[in-house]
A and B are shown apart, each in its own frame.
Chain A
């Protein structure tokens, strides 16, 4: 059974323009009219209540007949338009375990229920899961088994721009753990643009110390800086990699709009290598709200059940380099020697975002960027992720196998900043060594894009929401580490 994961959050726009009319229930509906107790209640609880319940981001609760009845016409309107539950992927390509879209039959059931007078029906109400009292969004309602809290309450000024920055805290796990879900919670929804987390080791020549969080920023603990006592001559000639082999990384997950717990498909737990990594790298991006704010993010970890055994393997991330844009092959400037770089460059602020891309011209509705990544070993693709800001328009992932065949893995024809899913493949896709994954992106800087804050301006590439980003990841496991069973022992 495909696990329904409601990790997305409803926005206030859900209810804009919708009538709030109360709808009366009829006592004796015709036999062919669905009822709340018979069919509709279970549908709403399974597909909507992860967001539409107390302490979640959905603007109204839909856990009971009395609650659902009030919003019946709004529910009908939103499901018929497929605006809710939000799932931006084109159903023509790929099957995803966290697909929360309703089937045509399910939509017809809700429509018939509303048109039939919103009957409650006979019998008991559908069972409501025991949801987490702390607001964690695992669909089972369970609280996480482990919570890793950010060590300090971060202070966000009321005004001004806060750059994207990195802090590094000890991991606190000394062994590998098999997990079925992780969730990164921001601690402050309004002031958080995104948080990503990654497991790392401290590279030779670096240390974690008290220092400015970014050049000119507040002085805090947990900043990775050069170690002044480091003697390069004492470093091993073949120093181990500080994080992973090139192109790979390992993350707990991210907080980005619309994303809650990242739950693996059934039987495919992830393996978090606490035995290999020592620290968590938090990439933090906050935005001013007009009021002084604070935030203390945390990571929830749900351990896999004891009967989920087998050869553990970890999920790796393949970032796709932007390679072409607007019909141009991108070419980098000549490399600069390390001594020519500014102090702190490439270590603290930002991520060197898309430095080769030209800005998107004003009013351009179809600005293209293509990224390509190489899979050098037999792999199983497990999930796909794309991140852009308000100009993001549509995105297509393609797999090119070594025999030259090409397959569309995922199409997101109407990207929405509010719903940034990791698309979990229902079945891992085998990619033989020598495959490439391409992601073709389009951006809309025109006034037709109703989310566009400034169609008359060039759009640059940065972490700030008023600029844009090309950031995409293919999560995979190695066949040599267990193949498709790598995360599904």
Chain B
């Protein structure tokens, strides 16, 4: 059976349905995030092993934030912010490296070429960076360095500290 809900019918419902009743409907809420989005700044360090890993050292205490891109005020404030003592492994780094490094990452070279690549080169060895990402604390790992899965990176300086 087809129910055609037309203007008049819907409007009638709206008129005869007291606003207070609508207000009593359960409100949709999302669950508490298992993983927070944070921002912090620190020194960028590439460590060479079997594969290169990227780290943020001397990192400031992360603060919980949202996924909006940084605005100019936040970037300017970060330039005068103090470093800290935190250390985080950075993952999801490819898009924030230089073009050559991005193309060596995973399957990127399968669909991106040197003249098409969108690599920001904001994550530079030895530099200071402001980062935002998902903070993943892996308590099960013995080498339990927390990781940040990157959402954005802004280079603040070529040196650090």
Contact = CB atoms under 8 A, between A and B. Distances in A.
B30 A248 contact: yes
A276 B149 contact: no
Interface stretch (A39-47, A239-247, A253-261): A239-247
Contacts of B135: 434
Interface string B118-151: 1111100000000001111010000000010111
A331 B72 contact: yes
Contacts of A152: 7
Nearest to A440: B118
Interface in A237-280: 240-241, 243-248, 250, 273, 275-278
**Which one of B3, B5, B31, B117 has the greatest number of beta carbons of chain A within 10 Å?**
B5
A373 B95 CA distance: 14
Contacts of B36: 376
Nearest to B152: A323
A11 interface: no
A464 interface: no
B73 A406 contact: no
Interface in B50-99: 66-73, 75, 91-92, 94-96, 99
B29 A240 contact: yes
B104 interface: no
Contact of A241 (B28, B106, B116, B154): B28
Given A275-B26, A436-B149, A329 B33 contact: no
Contacts of A480: 31
Contacts of A411: 111
Nearest to A408: B107
B149 A277 contact: no
Contacts of A406: 92, 94, 105-107
B48 interface: no
Interface string A410-423: 01010000000000
Contacts of B149: 374, 400, 402, 404, 434-436
Contacts of A332: 68-72
A150 to B, nearest CB: 8
A202 B25 CA distance: 12
Given A327-B121, A376-B37, A404-B147, A333 B5 contact: no
Interface in A256-310: 273, 275-278
A442 interface: yes
Q: How large is the interface on B (under 10, 10 to 19, 20 to 34, 35 or more residues)?
A: 35 or more
Interface in A164-185: 169-170, 172
Contact of B152 (A172, A245, A372, A376): A372
A330 B37 contact: no
A331 B71 contact: yes
Contacts of A408: 107, 110-111
A382 B9 CA distance: 34
Contacts of A370: 95, 118
A404 B134 CA distance: 12
A335 interface: yes
Contacts of A278: 22, 25
Given A246-B66, A377-B34, A402 B134 contact: yes
A411 B99 CA distance: 20
Interface stretch (A99-107, A112-120, A140-148): A140-148
B71 A143 contact: no
B30 A433 contact: no
A145 B116 CA distance: 48
A146 B3 CA distance: 5
A236 B42 CA distance: 40
A368 B25 CA distance: 44
A331 to B, nearest CB: 6
A276 B28 contact: yes
B35 A321 contact: no
Contacts of A427: none
Given A327-B121, A369-B118, A245 B7 contact: no
Contact of A323 (B11, B13, B27, B69): B69
A463 interface: no
A391 to B, nearest CB: 14
Ranked nearest first, the 9 interchain pairs of A and B with the lowest CB-CB distance are A245-B30, A151-B7, A240-B27, A368-B118, A376-B33, A404-B91, A433-B34, A332-B71, A434-B35
14 contacts: A144-B2, A145-B2, A147-B2, A202-B22, A277-B28, A327-B120, A329-B96, A329-B122, A374-B133, A394-B111, A402-B134, A408-B111, A413-B111, A442-B116
Interface of A: 143-149, 151-152, 169-170, 172, 201-202, 240-241, 243-248, 250, 273, 275-278, 321, 323-335, 356, 366, 368-370, 372-374, 376-378, 394, 396, 400, 402-404, 406, 408, 411, 413, 433-436, 438, 440, 442, 478, 480
Given A145-B2, A172-B9, A442-B116, 6 more contacts: A146-B2, A149-B5, A278-B25, A332-B71, A356-B69, A404-B147
